[in-house]
Amino acid sequence: MIRFNCDYSEGAHPQVLQRLVETNMEQTAGYGEDPHCAHAAELIRSECGRPDADVHFLVGGTQANLTVIAAALRPHQGVIAAQSGHVNVHESGAIEATGHKVLAQPCQDGKLTAEQVRQVVEDHFNDETQEHMVQPKMVYISHPTEVGTLYTKEELEALHQVCRQKGLYLFLDGARLGYGLTAPGTDVTMADVAALCDVFYIGGTKVGTLFGEAVVILHPELKPDFRYLIKQRGGMLAKGRLLGVQFEALFENGLYYEMGRHANEAAAVIRQACQQKGYPFLCPSPTNQQFPILPDEKLPALAKKYAFAHFGKVDDSHSAIRFCTSWATKLEDAQALAQDLLEL
Amino acid sequence: MIRFNCDYSEGAHPQVLQRLVETNMEQTAGYGEDPHCAHAAELIRSECGRPDADVHFLVGGTQANLTVIAAALRPHQGVIAAQSGHVNVHESGAIEATGHKVLAQPCQDGKLTAEQVRQVVEDHFNDETQEHMVQPKMVYISHPTEVGTLYTKEELEALHQVCRQKGLYLFLDGARLGYGLTAPGTDVTMADVAALCDVFYIGGTKVGTLFGEAVVILHPELKPDFRYLIKQRGGMLAKGRLLGVQFEALFENGLYYEMGRHANEAAAVIRQACQQKGYPFLCPSPTNQQFPILPDEKLPALAKKYAFAHFGKVDDSHSAIRFCTSWATKLEDAQALAQDLLEL
Amino acid sequence: MIRFNCDYSEGAHPQVLQRLVETNMEQTAGYGEDPHCAHAAELIRSECGRPDADVHFLVGGTQANLTVIAAALRPHQGVIAAQSGHVNVHESGAIEATGHKVLAQPCQDGKLTAEQVRQVVEDHFNDETQEHMVQPKMVYISHPTEVGTLYTKEELEALHQVCRQKGLYLFLDGARLGYGLTAPGTDVTMADVAALCDVFYIGGTKVGTLFGEAVVILHPELKPDFRYLIKQRGGMLAKGRLLGVQFEALFENGLYYEMGRHANEAAAVIRQACQQKGYPFLCPSPTNQQFPILPDEKLPALAKKYAFAHFGKVDDSHSAIRFCTSWATKLEDAQALAQDLLEL
Amino acid sequence: MIRFNCDYSEGAHPQVLQRLVETNMEQTAGYGEDPHCAHAAELIRSECGRPDADVHFLVGGTQANLTVIAAALRPHQGVIAAQSGHVNVHESGAIEATGHKVLAQPCQDGKLTAEQVRQVVEDHFNDETQEHMVQPKMVYISHPTEVGTLYTKEELEALHQVCRQKGLYLFLDGARLGYGLTAPGTDVTMADVAALCDVFYIGGTKVGTLFGEAVVILHPELKPDFRYLIKQRGGMLAKGRLLGVQFEALFENGLYYEMGRHANEAAAVIRQACQQKGYPFLCPSPTNQQFPILPDEKLPALAKKYAFAHFGKVDDSHSAIRFCTSWATKLEDAQALAQDLLEL
């Protein structure tokens, strides 16, 4: 059985693990107040071109999302997200458990548009009974999205603009950011993300670390007391330096991007086989997640050899499935899958 | 600088780390649904003599506390704890952030008594206006406590009794359980803990793992849907098997207890030096944390060579400080500190 | 200016107010533990044919909704509601502020169907990753709905069935129940509501009292400790007997139904004028709220004489508006509006 | 049975009720956006000498407390209160249910001192691990306190000073403010309260209205979006003008103070009888609540004729009890009680 069902089947990239081994018996201060975290934060600030950024290391994505949102919003404020957004569907109500409504919007390809955001905000503030409704205050996007798609720089700029005009915070969930920044055809860089968002995070869990997400805060209003919130929400790792050590490994020599490119290449092999075979896609994805639509009858054979995720029936006899590659995917495994798809 | 300020200065015990390295490139299912977690849970159930226990692996202690409490209580219910309890003072309001009051009680040596619990519960239910007050429903104890002390088996039995009689859940925070179960003179075993508590956790972070706490649920009412709560509160590790792998290492060959004994022996070296020197203690601790009271004038010299924690002034010229040992403490470092204390 | 914009423009029905005046200087126990509340609860139990029901009096509708939901659900559970449901749109996130997600469903005429509920529940429990999603546990319906429509007895029975089969609670928001139970053509009685729901409330605020909603709890699991929740959520009126006194007035001599019929008759006068004029309706309502669609150009003239609510544009030149009658509406005012509509 | 057990046994002062009757059939806008609320707010601003104040009318005290605190604090912040404070003991965990810890302090006579506040704040910010503890951000006091005592102007000024210096909000719960401002010997006026607090409320429920508390917000940071919070927490009365009408009655002709003086005079009659009899007091109260300590053996006889509250055993054979007067207390009833006390 070869796993293409998700991008967290293995441990860490060997270089990352090596660092953990090398530093294991160092004695450092706890809770992220150690030299490794300081250095990793510095590397990230530099990567972002934003010496003013606050950088915090958290353990996982849901934790990062709920902590950022709880820290940013007053009780009556909500976060606009695509209906397919991770915060809306796959966090067991984590955002609501912090007291906030997710203002879910219908979406194309997992993406919110600036126009949608503008409409939601204007509809709210134009309504005489606005005080009876949740006030939109933050926009949550994921990049790549949950269905593998990417925003263009122009789209991000438009979202940035509307957020500025309307007094909203723009929050980018970068759980798979490494795969997004290295996708063929993208014009969005880490510095762009840092320039256009108020807060975002750089995902490690799905891109080469054992665990860990680096939250980067740009907007001055979002900075005060963030560490209290990390602690309160259970995200403050006692041995915080484990996060610093891993992010040092990701950003000292471009390993983060190298892993991203590798996964995208492996995904392209699978994508091309599906295209050749004439299978349509749920949406066009240049990143490490591919969502082809296959006849249901073909799935059992495939499932004997490969693990993949069932995304949903699209009609009586076809289903969208997800193949996921990662930094750890062996190219020959992707090629084997491609070959098997062609021969289905 | 040698660190005695806490028990999470280093990474993981080499045997634990070795396991992570060996299993790194395995492909497993995520979120704790992998063979390592299953095996580790089995080892723990066996250790507890409780084949019926549910075992879940979480990343950290505050996270474990808030998740257990949020899962167990209805909104109007609170948790009785010692005033010095971790949930009351050192979790940035994590419990209150889940909506629940900590009913803090004055305490001797960090411990709650069964009699205190009985009084709180009877006072509540005897009051005509009980509905205007938070209803006690859970008792939180830590073992060892935050000041290094231990419950006797008899004391735990009395707490168990009163909780049974009054319909409360007994929850034991075992962040340092390994140091408690191996302390000289204790008559409490892992099986006792499992027999007397409704839910407890076995701490890994402070006893040999990179991170991780094993929550053991005994009471049937506390079992349903616990994984939803883990996910919602941000504690569900994507690569959950990292927790399973580490706890396998702790419990396959008694490593957990071996580490506990080692730390307690190192602590004894320091304790004896203080005793010899005539320094009193905040309270008598047979475990890895020692709280001697020293003249303030002696502290600067000590601080040049050793990191320790300041616990608080006890009078104008004396302070309680904390020396903490762990599985990683070198016996010669403890001996060096002991010598320096004697020569102060 | 004659107000048809809502059903809470005046104070209380004179008979209700009279009771408050008569009982004003009585001395009673506070917090609803007085003879008036006991008597009113008895009247309601009798009206419902459910001697086993728990009856609690709260001040307002949003308060009743949030208290019932907070009391019923565990943290990871959510409430299924129509997208147009009051809990989803018009309570400023009150439900989310208690930590729970509203699982909003697209709807016809403000109503949920049993089939929708079944689908949501089955989709949830069939999903392997169910623990990553909010668990449906309660169904919220309003009767009449926010757009004036009514469930048939058959529809309610179907909802009851699916809730029983799937282990969900059925909660009916009866803010305007008096208008619903007396609408022409309805086959749903108070006893039916009590037989088919697990919890519901009888609205007073919009049907003749100064304020007040009577929460009726049928399901045994929802009864324990409800008064703690009322107090905690700020809904426990110190002079609770004011609620009892008012509900006595409503149910001693059928005043509640009398007021309902009156408002529905006044609404029918307006509806018929719209029909005669050929104005379509947002949806067919036999109750006190009417939602005709008018040309925008006609609205300014109307607005000079009458207050009404703007419900939303339906196309470039037409809007749905709401006319609302109540127990207090003078029939001649409704007739005057009808005449003016005909002459627009 | 004559009730001295609380100050909410009757309905409203006849003049207040008369206003409700007179205005009953007026048609006004809902939710507090009506001329009566506007006028009442204006009267209160004038009474306070603060034309810049925001005034909001809520239904009850717990509701006012939880709404103010939820609106003011970020998630990691807590409110300092006396251990005996209403928010700490008698609101069923309402504050914790909004996510915030009550930082309860031991107290003399129900009062916090400026020195205590200073200490709590300095201890917090001096601690290296401050991020692991709840951050103090608000001070809650009640005036009169729960045990009938009053702050002097000097004490309030000192609290104001320390809050200014430390960046905390000062919040005064005035559930019984009318009895406090008219107590013999007090030097605190409504204008003083408005000058020294950041937010406070003027209690109506216990001082002459059917229900209702007027929240007065002075600090600009606490003003934005407060109405969203009122709605979200279930405190927005549909027929909001009922609150405006009642507060108009209280403040148009000094009725509020007149009622206060009356209750205090009735309380003085009872106090003097106790003093004459040699009964000690829990604490000296010049207001409408008196807490004499009586031999337990005397209580049954007294309880046959009068309702009073049991406050707690002070030793094996004595209990503190509470006699409460109000605007509604008949002077002859107080005199009868006084006589019976003397003859016990």
The token duo for C62 is 């949003």
For D206, the closest chain C residue by CA position comes to C238
- β pairing state of B169-174 and B199-203: parallel
Report CA torsion sign: A283, A286, A291, A293: positive
Which residues lie below 8 Å from residue A21, measured CB to CB, with a gap of 6+?
A: B17, B21
Using DSSP, state whether B210 is helix, strand or coil: coil
pLDDT over 90 (residue B259):
yes
Residues D204 and D326: their CA atoms lie apart, in Å, by 12
Q: Summarize pLDDT for C147-179 with one digit per residue, the tens.
A: 999 999 999 999 999 999 999 999 999 999 999
pLDDT tens string A4-23: 999 999 999 999 999 999 99
Q: Is the pLDDT of residue C256 over 90?
A: yes
Q: Side-chain half-sphere of B331: how many Cα atoms within 13 Å?
A: 6
Looking at residue B43, its pLDDT comes to 98
If you average pLDDT over residues A289-298, what whole number do you get? 97
Range D56-87 burial, b when 16+ CB lie within 10 A, else e: bbbbbbbbbbbbbbbbbbbbbbbbbbbebbbb
pLDDT by residue (tens digit) across D55-101? Answer: 999 999 999 999 999 999 999 999 999 999 999 999 999 999 999 99
Beta carbons of C134 and A100 less than 8 Å apart: no
Lowest-pLDDT choice from A128-132, B42-46, C270-274? A128-132
Q: Which pLDDT score, from 0 to 100, does residue A280 have?
A: 97
Using one digit for the tens of pLDDT, what is the confidence trace for D10-26? 999 999 999 999 999 99
Interface of C with B (CB under 8 A): 31, 70-71, 74-76, 98-99, 131-132, 135, 225, 227-229, 231-232, 236
Helix pair C255-277, C331-343: axis angle to 10 deg: 10
Helix (H, G, I), strand (E, B) or coil at A139: strand
Q: Which amino acid would we find at residue B185?
A: G
pLDDT at residue number C278: 96
Residue in chain C lying closest to A313 (CA): C123
Contact assignment for A211 to B20 by CB distance below 8 Å: no
- Residue B235 pLDDT grade (very low, low, confident, very high; cuts 50, 70, 90): very high
Encoded tokens for A86:
């991770």
Say if residues B89 and D133 touch (Cβ distance below 8 Å). Answer: yes
Give the residue with greater pLDDT, C108 vs A192: A192
Do D210 and D12 meet the contact criterion of CB atoms below 8 Å apart?
yes
Query: What is the C-alpha to C-alpha distance for residues A253 and A113, in angstroms, rounded to an integer?
Result: 35
Of B107, B156, B84, residue with least CA distance to B322: B84
**Chain C residue whose CA is closest to A106:** C106
Tens of pLDDT, residues C6-18 = 999 999 999 999 9
Residue B21 has pLDDT above 90, yes or no: yes
pLDDT value at A210 more than 90: yes
Reported as a single tens digit per residue, the pLDDT across D296-321 is 999 999 999 999 999 989 999 999 99
Beta bridge partners of C103: C80
* Chain B, nearest residue to D102 by Cα: B101
Reported as a single tens digit per residue, the pLDDT across B164-216 is: 999 999 999 999 999 999 999 999 999 999 999 999 999 999 999 999 999 99
Q: What DSSP letter does each residue of B124-158 carry, written as one string?
A: HHH-TTGGGSPEEEEEEEESS-TTS----HHHHHH
Question: Which residue, B178, B179, B100, is CA-closest to B140?
Answer: B100
Locus of tokens 């469903």 = C105
Which residue, among C66, C88, C96, would best test binding to A if mutated, counting the most A CBs under 10 Å from its CB?
C96
Decide if pLDDT at C106 tops 90.
Answer: yes
Letter for the amino acid at B42? E
Q: Give the C-alpha separation, A57 to B49, whole Å.
A: 38
Confidence class for position A128, pLDDT limits 50, 70, 90: confident
> Using CB atoms, which chains have 3+ pairs under 8 A with B?
A, C, D
* Backbone φ, ψ for residue C102 (5° rounding): -90, 120
Instruction: Measure the CA angle with vertex D83, ends D82 and D85; round to 5°.
Output: 60
Give the per-residue pLDDT at C269: 98
Q: What is the pLDDT of residue B344?
A: 86
Mean pLDDT of B104-124: 96
Grouping H, G, I as helix, E, B as strand and the rest as coil, residue D131 is helix
pLDDT at position B278 is 96
The pLDDT-based confidence of A108 (bands split at 50, 70, 90) is: confident
| CA angle, B158 then B160 then B166, to 5° | 100
Calpha distance D232→D67 (Å, rounded): 9
pLDDT for residue B70 is more than 90: yes
From the centroid of its chain, how far is CA D2? 24
Cα distance between residue D147 and residue D282, in whole Å: 8
Position D283 scores a pLDDT of 92
DSSP assignment of D85-107: -HHHHSSTTHHHHTT--EEEE--
Alpha-carbon distance of D37 to D57, in angstroms, equals: 8
Q: What is the pTM of this model?
A: 0.97
For residue C8, the chain D residues in CB contact (below 8 A) are 30, 238-239
Whole-number Cα distances in Å, D23 to C5, C16, D239: 19, 14, 12
Encoding tokens for residue C333?
Answer: 């005012």
- D197 contacts: CB under 8 Å, gap ≥ 6: D156, D160, D170, D171, D172, D218
Could you give phi then psi for residue A318, rounded to 5 degrees?
Answer: -135, 150
**DSSP-assigned letters across all residues of C233-255:** TT---TTTHHHHHHHHHHHHSSH
Phi and psi at A201, nearest 5°, equal -135, 150
Contact A81, A105 (CB under 8 A): yes
3-class state of residue C116 by DSSP: helix
* Amino acid present at D198: D
Query: What's the CA gap between D108 and C255, in Å, rounded?
Result: 53
- Closest to B148 in 3D by CA, of B186, B116, B117: B186
Helix, strand or coil, per DSSP, at residue C84: coil
**In sequence order, which ranges of chain D are alpha helices (DSSP H)?**
14-22, 35-48, 61-72, 86-89, 94-97, 114-126, 153-166, 177-181, 190-196, 226-232, 241-252, 255-277, 299-305, 331-343
pLDDT band at A302 (very low <50, low <70, confident <90, very high): very high
Helix (H, G, I), strand (E, B) or coil at D200: strand
Q: Is the pLDDT of residue D344 over 90?
A: no
Q: Kindly indicate the confidence band of residue A62, based on its pLDDT and cuts at 50, 70 and 90.
A: very high
A interface test, pick of C6, C73, C101 with most A CB neighbours within 10 Å: C101
The whole-angstrom separation of Cα C213 and Cα C200 is 10
pLDDT > 90? residue B100: yes
Cβ atoms of D169 and D137 within 8 Å: the answer is yes
Q: Smallest Cα–Cα separation from B108: which of B80, B90, B84?
A: B84
Single-letter amino acid, residue D186: T
Neighbours of B310 (CB within 10 A): 15
The β-bridge partners of B320 are B293, B312
Question: CB D71 to CB A70 under 8 A?
Answer: no
Q: Are A71 and D70 a contacting pair at CB < 8 A?
A: no
The minimum CA-CA distance between C231 and chain B, rounded to whole Å, is 6
pLDDT band at C108, cuts 50/70/90?
confident
Q: At what angle do helices A114-126 and A153-166 cross, to 10 degrees?
A: 20
pLDDT at res. A344: 87
Pick from A138, A70, A142, A82: which is nearest to A106 by CA? A82
The whole-number pLDDT of residue D128 equals: 87
Is C130 a residue whose pLDDT tops 90?
Answer: yes
Mean pLDDT over residues C192-204, rounded? Answer: 98
Least confident of A45-49, A104-108, A238-242, C225-229: A104-108
What is the C-alpha separation between B78 and B308, in angstroms, rounded? 34
Smallest Cβ–Cβ distance between B27 and the set A10, A27, A92 belongs to: A10
Contact criterion met (CB below 8 Å) for D174 and D146:
no
More confident residue, A108 or D319: D319
- Among partner residues D76, D131, D228, which is closest to A76 by beta-carbon distance? D228
Task: Determine the pLDDT at residue A120.
Answer: 98
Instruction: Report the alpha-carbon distance of residue D64 to residue D57 in Å, rounded.
Output: 9
Rounded Cα distance between D256 and D176, Å, is 11
In the three-class reduction of DSSP (H, G, I as helix; E, B as strand; rest coil), residue B170 is classed as strand
**Looking at chain B, how many residues does it have?**
344
Tokens 């009398």, residue? C258
Nearest to A11 among B23, B205, B228 (CB): B23
* 3-class SS of residue B311: strand
Instruction: Give the pLDDT band of residue C344 (cuts 50, 70, 90).
Output: confident
Average pLDDT over residues B41-51: 98
| Nearest in space to A103 (alpha carbons), one of B14, B147, D316, C102 | C102
Q: What integer best gives the mean pLDDT of chain B?
A: 97
Residue in this structure with the two tokens 């305490």, named with its chain if needed: B107
DSSP character string of D281-312: BSS---SSEE-BEEEGGGHHHHHHHEE-EEEE
Per-residue pLDDT for A163 more than 90? yes
Minimal-distance CA residue of chain A relative to C78: A93
The arithmetic mean of pLDDT across residues D196-208, rounded, is 98
